[in-house]
Amino acid sequence: MRANIERTGKKRVVIVGGGLGGLELTFSLLGAGYQVVLVDKNNYHQFPPLIYQVASGGLEPSSISFPFRRLFQGNKDFFFRMAEAESVDTREKILRTSIGTIQYDYLVLAAGAKTNFFGNKHIESTTLPMKTVSQAMHLRNTILQNLEKAEVEDDPERKQALMNVVVVGGGASGVEIAGAIAEMKINIIARDYPDLDSSQMHIYLVNAGDRLLAGMDPRSSARAERDLKRLHVHVRQPQFATDYRDGVLETSAGLRIPAATVIWVSGICANHIGGVPAESLGHGGRLLTDRFCRVKGLEGVYAIGDQSLVEGDGEYPLGHPQLAQVAMQQAKTVADNLRRQLKGEAPKPFKYKNLGTMATIGRNHAVAEIAGRKFGGFLAWVLWLVVHLRSILGVKNKASFF
Ligand SMILES: Cc1cc2nc3c(=O)[nH]c(=O)nc-3n(C[C@H](O)[C@H](O)[C@H](O)COP(=O)(O)OP(=O)(O)OC[C@H]3O[C@@H](n4cnc5c(N)ncnc54)[C@H](O)[C@@H]3O)c2cc1C
């Protein structure tokens, strides 16, 4: 089977994954003299930084999901195929997918990462990840269904377990979802479930490290912890989840928390693609690339975003953080270099410009670190709101340009 895409006179760039990196690359390459083929296992782009809002009922999925076919409507150099990429054959310059093979001149792997359960199959099958919009919807439904059950449960222990929520992982996703559920408890559950004593809904945040938001300054960590405690979130650290059996989450410190809802946001690993030699893989399964985002040992293949790890940047010896800005800036570098290639110009290396990091804690608090300045509270939250609204509007504006 072939993916049925006609060859034109233009060289073809196949992009695997229309996430933050792949979408930016597609926008940047259109009109650059290439035929662009975007392959994604979903037919819509999703905006991960606001997924926790979908999980906690603050936003509907349609607010952060954009159909690829609508985004690039009417562009004759653009093709979309909904398919799962399976493996690469660099000798034949072919990508093998669930709908057949696709030939490429240049291949860009931007398939992102998935939740890391650290090999614990039992935890994987019983806890709730939060990487995609559909997982966020499942999470939201699980919380609400457990509350419905709690309302009619007579046994007090069982009732308590149905109301408890445990978040495992004290990074940005863990902090944001714990804060959002705490707000949900105050603003929605107290009103919608008048027969339940919502003050008895306990939210736990279990973190393996000794401070939250380990990638940020310790002052931001302390501030985030204080804000979460203000929302009555029980922060338990340093201790890691060891198992979740018979509805009880166990931790390395001997804590046992009965909870029907356990959210697992304690790490990620890169999505796998076949045909890549072992020496091209770095820690967390990330594809090793040079400073130009070219995958080590695979000619004509680039990798960007969470799936990749750029070697040789002295400032980031362990690789760049798996963040939106890294993926989007790498996309711009690859697009720029592919344009240069057509003009016979030398490529330019990727240089990450850190525009800052932020995390929200509940409805109107956040912590932010921008240009060496650290701040928190309402001001940081307003800034967070502006940045994310701009990003979402940016997708819509770029789409209406075509
Ligand atoms: C809940 C959450 C909140 C986050 N919040 C922030 C934040 O506030 N700030 C920040 O900077 N970063 C944040 N991040 C991280 C950020 O979203 C990622 O770093 C960024 O999305 C990476 O972009 P990417 O293009 O590499 O991958 P992604 O955006 O994850 O896109 C990967 C794409 O590949 C597709 N795909 C996967 N496998 C296949 C396959 N085999 N075949 C075809 N398609 C495939 C997926 O459907 C998806 O469209 C957050 C992440 C999550 C999960």
**pLDDT tens-digit series, residues 300-323:** 999 999 999 999 999 999 999 999
389 Cα: distance to centroid of ligand 1 (angstroms): 18
On whether the CB atoms of residues 239 and 206 are closer than 8 A, the answer is: yes
Cα(186) to ligand 1 centroid in Å equals 30
pLDDT confidence of residue 389: 84
pLDDT tops 70 at residue 400: no
**CA–CA dist 373, 252 (Å, integer):** 35
Q: What is the CATH number of domain 121-265?
A: 3.50.50.60
Q: Is residue 100 predicted with pLDDT exceeding 90?
A: yes
pLDDT of residue 264: 98
Q: What share of the chain in percent tops pLDDT 90?
A: 88
pLDDT band at 399 (very low <50, low <70, confident <90, very high): low
CA-326 nearest atom, ligand 1? 19
Residue 235: other Cβ atoms inside 10 A: 20
Q: Does domain 12-115+269-355 have CATH number 3.40.50.1980?
A: no
Within 6 A (CB) of ligand 1 lie 16-22, 39-42, 48-49, 51-52, 84-85, 110-112, 130-131, 172-173, 271, 305-307, 322-325, 327
Task: Using the predicted structure, report yes or no on whether residue 69 has a pLDDT greater than 80.
Answer: yes
Query: Are the C-beta atoms of 365 and 227 separated by less than 8 Å?
Result: yes
CA diameter of the chain:
74
Residue 5 pLDDT:
87
Location of each CATH 3.50.50.60 domain in the chain? 12-115+269-355, 121-265
Average pLDDT over the chain, rounded to an integer: 94
Estimate the crossing angle of helix 20-29 against helix 324-343, to 10 degrees.
30
